Amino acid sequence: MGIEEIQSKTYYKIKLFDHHHKRFCNKFKGMICASVKKNPEKLADLPKQYDIVEVWGPSFVPLIRLLQKPVILKVADCDLVDENLNVDYIDYDISMDVSVRPKGAKLIISYHNPDHTPSLNELHGIVRDMLAMGADICKIVTKAVTVEDNLIPLRLLAESKTPMIAFCLGEKGRISRIMAPQFGSLISYVPPTADFVTAEGQIVFDEWMKIQKMLARG
């Protein structure tokens, strides 16, 4: 697949997503997300470059709303989900019941494989299952056992017309985290500092910005 075709597919996906948060969807950029598992008050000085915040519990939502940024609620317990929660996105694992959704929230359905990266065909099948469940955005996160595994989520992004987040976990998966926005991945999970790391292989904010600036210069 040539770079022109990849760019065309990427632009198409971002246009599908563009109506919801238009200013965040610059071509090859996506959104930079801070993920909060605990101590949300420490995000008071979140750098302005962050576009969105993911919270790991409904109780964090009111405080995070003070940052005046879109909010993703990552669901750990379906019983805690309320239709009246003030969030922009709700992220359910593919194994969960996704029937309850806060009013107006976009549905992210996630597949996580902490052991390995399945084949490209298998991942396309998982995406189809997510769409059948009503996903607005499909999220695919798999463990990179080898450096070559990074190519699979990048190819998935390039070949799909579905709004998507895809990358590999682990130290060997850092390449896919860095390159995923270039292939149309809509959200990059970038901890502000090491205290906010929620998964192996994440790249903290200062390092992330340096890398993306180098890529932008070509």
Catalytic (active-site) positions: 112, 139
β pairing state of 31-36 and 71-74? unpaired
CA distances from 27 to 9, 105, 184 (A): 11, 23, 8
CA distance 1 to 159: 9
CA distance 149 to 117: 6
Q: What count of other Cβ atoms lies within 10 Å of the Cβ of residue 170?
A: 19
CA distance 165 to 179: 12
Place of tokens 């996506």: 30
138, 147, 156: which is closest to 174 by C-alpha?
A: 147
